[in-house]
Amino acid sequence: MEILKVSHLSKTYGKDVMYHALNQISISVEPGEFVGVMGPSGSGKTTLLNMISTVDQPTTGDILIHDLNPMDLKGDELALFRRRKLGFVFQDFNLLDTLTVGENVVLPLTLDRISVMEQDKRLQNIAKTLRIEHLLDKRTYEVSGGEAQRTAIARAIIHNPSLLLADEPTGNLDSKAARTVMELFEKINKEQQLTTIMVTHDPVAASYCGRIIFIKDGTIFNEIHSGGSKPQFYQQIIDVLSLLGGATHGF
């Protein structure tokens, strides 16, 4: 039974001058999958993620998460659904710099009025997983990019979401920090069976996924599955990217 079902999804921006960003996209994601979304700049990746994350509305087509169409929810219900069922990781971390690392991580629990004792218990656990135990009292501007992204991942999963959505999570990181972050995404996906969907331009980051969906001009161009070997999957990804046009140029 799929956790996410996207059916014939289309998105058109604009009124007078219309731009078809997505055209009849259908995708199914099973619980526990780690799915990458790749494609040239402007192909519609972020648009797709914004529809799945309920930030924006499809023009036509449906999205079901756990058999529920979030667009059927109203106001507060939708906000609660987003806060409790989804986790988000962004390229630029989106941490609050007035708070400490630890305060950032527990923010979703604070908003849900979880007891301080429970917050602290979950914080210690998650900090260990993300290797940020030593940073909890620091301000976000006192930590490196990789540490900031690990903090953002901790915040995105501390409330045990059903679906983790990441948009270019390694985009602002050097290659070493990017690898550490991807190893942690992989570990969390495997150990907690947390279904993860990640948009990325980076073939190395993508090689950590189990499946990659390639988008071109708002439609699905190709889909590949990992056989388990990262170097082989990386090569497969490079091959599809070169078919998409321009190899790494524009990615």
Q: How far apart are CA 197 and CA 184, in angstroms?
A: 14
Query: 36 vs 44, which CB is nearer to ligand ATP?
Result: 44
- Residue 250 makes CB contacts below 8 A (sequence gap 6+) with 40, 41
Cβ 50 to ligand ATP shortest distance, Å: 7
Residues 160 and 114: beta-carbon distance below 8 Å = no
**Of residues 218, 166, 171, the one with CA closest to residue 44:** 218
Residue 183: count other Cβ atoms within 10 Å of its Cβ.
11
Cα–Cα distance between 171 and 175 in angstroms, integer?
Answer: 10
Q: How far is the CB of 201 from ligand ATP (least distance, A)?
A: 6
Q: 235: number of CA atoms within 13 Å, CB side? A: 5
Question: Which amino acid is it at 226?
Answer: S
Binding interface with ligand ATP (CB under 6 A): 13-14, 19, 21, 39, 41-47
* Residue with smaller CB distance to ligand ATP, 13 or 121: 13
Complex with ligand ATP: residue 109 or 199, whichever CB lies closer: 199
* Minimum CB distance to ligand ATP, residue 47 (Å): 3
With respect to ligand ATP, which residue has the nearer C-beta, 14 or 228?
Answer: 14
Joined together, the tokens standing for residue 133 give: 């135990």
Closer residue to ligand ATP (CB): 101 or 241: 241
DSSP state of 142: G
- SS3 state of residue 95: coil
Segments in the chain forming alpha helices (H): 45-52, 75-85, 101-111, 116-129, 145-157, 175-192, 203-206, 230-244
Residue 40: other Cβ atoms inside 10 A: 20
